[in-house]
Chain A
Amino acid sequence: MNRWHSAVICFCMLPAAVMAQFEKKVSVYIDAGVTASPKSERLNTKGQPTDIFGAYKSGQLVGGAILYSLDDHFSVGGSVRAMRAAKPYYSLLVTSVGGMAKYNILPSGKKISPYVFFEGNLSFVSMGQKNHISNYQPPGSTADTVPVANIKYTYAAYNLFFVPAFGIYSGGGVDIRLKESLNFFVQAGFNECFAKNAKLIKANNLSNTSNLGYWNLVVGIRLNLFKKKTFY
């Protein structure tokens, strides 16, 4: 069984988990925020980028999730997310679906409850490159090597759509209870998408050796849809 089959089965099992825990609290999360990628774009000795996902300007992120509380601390569920970012000559759109687990360090019913979370996801990376020219002057040559005056790269435009890649997302945040059915939350995390070996991305970016990684900071609301049922 390959990774795809595993992911599909896990995703399909989520509704079953929902039914089994139906008497527990169900929460819907909606959030929006900003992203940040590594500041500089690393180059190899020939002036080609080894981190094509680096140096993007701050992007935008929207997301949502449905989580089911297993107890006052632990909840599991599914999420969807979309982020976009751009830098000169390049654009990036990443959409993802995933399964996540959340652990509230203090009981989730408290007024303020910090938490941590972890998510495994399947991302779909869309990226575009525009026509442009880049000139690179390598540093000094070695003993017997003819010095290079300049390498002129003429990049041709391309667009890639929804290239699949697995990823992980983890971080932490704080739940702030406004009323019984409504929470406000602030959350920060890092998303690592293992895209460097995706066939299309590799074929179009020969020098790249880096995955897609970005920080994000979001704020959102949590709607508590079902009241928790107590059997004791």
Chain B
Amino acid sequence: MLPPTRLTVNLLDTNGSPIVTPINVYLFTNLTDYTNSTHYYRGINYLKSDTAVNGVCFFDTLKTETPYYIYAHYKNYSGLSGGYYIDFDNEDKYIVDSLTKLANGTSNTSINLILSPANGLVSFWTPTANSPSLPITITLDNNLFGSITEPSATTPTYFDKTTVTALVPKGKHSLYAESPNGCVWTEELVVKGGGDYSLELYGCGSVNSNNANGNGNVTFWTDSSNAAALPFTISINGDTVGIIYNTSPFELPCFSAGGLTVPLPLGNYTSLAISQTNGCQLENNFTITSGGCTVVKLTTCEK
């Protein structure tokens, strides 16, 4: 006989397959503890925890009146250049508010917790022509990232001594780099979980991206005709890349805050936008060109 209320957590990778690696899953009753835990990649002040075996774990005797916040995290080989192990978590979806009970009987609520890469690999280097500008001090989000002390004649590997490399949480970050001779580089970086970015501080104030994952960008947006269908989950070639929460009354250019911008390697892609409200779907084909940015407008979505 099951307890009156059970929460069953299915841990899945981004392909929807169960994650067999043992993973600790934490439940929180307040957002602050959850947020702190995501910052340190471990459970802090959690209400309950359980270790998932073969991708499944359970929580029993939970109250049904309040929402819970859930966090699961593990490190795994990234497949990125240099063999970095990166963090995987469920940061995009973390609220559990579906627990319910019966007066006579039991309820078992099963949720699918998808763990996706939480960070990307970011590397900076500068060419030989920039030797007079060395050393270059790099800060990311006002935190010291590192210093480039040697130039490189060609694009270096991630572990080359001419580079400064680190894992960076996915999302937007502001780059600020400066040299003793007065050169300044600024850029807003959009880091995709699982992506790797080799950024060349070229000349003075110029940032070239010549990495495998960041040769171009695509920006998705939609107008008010889709207001009732918001939010849209966007996937590219089957991988979920983000969510569009807002509409815009104006044509949005690339990198606009009201849209969703995703860095991608060169190539042809198919995107699928799925309404979380009514399930309607929109498919688009687009091409990423070197250094370019493609705008994809979601047309009116009807089920």
Contact = CB atoms under 8 A, between A and B. Distances in A.
Interface of A: 46, 48, 129, 138-158, 203-206
Given A146-B93, A157-B104, 20 more contacts: A48-B100, A140-B279, A141-B93, A143-B245, A144-B95, A145-B95, A145-B97, A146-B90, A146-B111, A148-B111, A149-B112, A150-B110, A151-B100, A151-B109, A153-B102, A153-B106, A154-B105, A203-B103, A206-B102, A206-B103
Interface string B225-252: 0000001000000000001010000000
B102 A146 contact: no
Interface string B81-118: 00000000010111111101111111111111100000
A156 B104 contact: yes
B70 interface: yes
A153 B111 contact: no
A158 B105 CA distance: 10
User: How big is the B interface, by class?
Assistant: 20 to 34
B61 interface: no
Nearest to B94: A144
B2 interface: yes
A158 B279 CA distance: 38
A148 B93 CA distance: 11
Interface of B: 2, 10, 70, 90, 92-98, 100-113, 231, 243, 245, 275-277, 279
A140 B274 CA distance: 10
B103 A204 contact: yes
Contacts of B102: 48, 153-156, 206
A46 B98 contact: yes
Contacts of A140: 275-277, 279
Given A144-B94, A147-B111, A153-B105, A46 B277 contact: no
A148 B10 CA distance: 10
Nearest to B279: A140
B107 A153 contact: yes
A155 B118 CA distance: 40
A81 B95 CA distance: 50
Nearest to A48: B100
A148 B104 contact: no
Interface centre among A129, A152, A157 (most CB of B within 10 A): A152
Contacts of B113: 146
B105 A146 contact: no
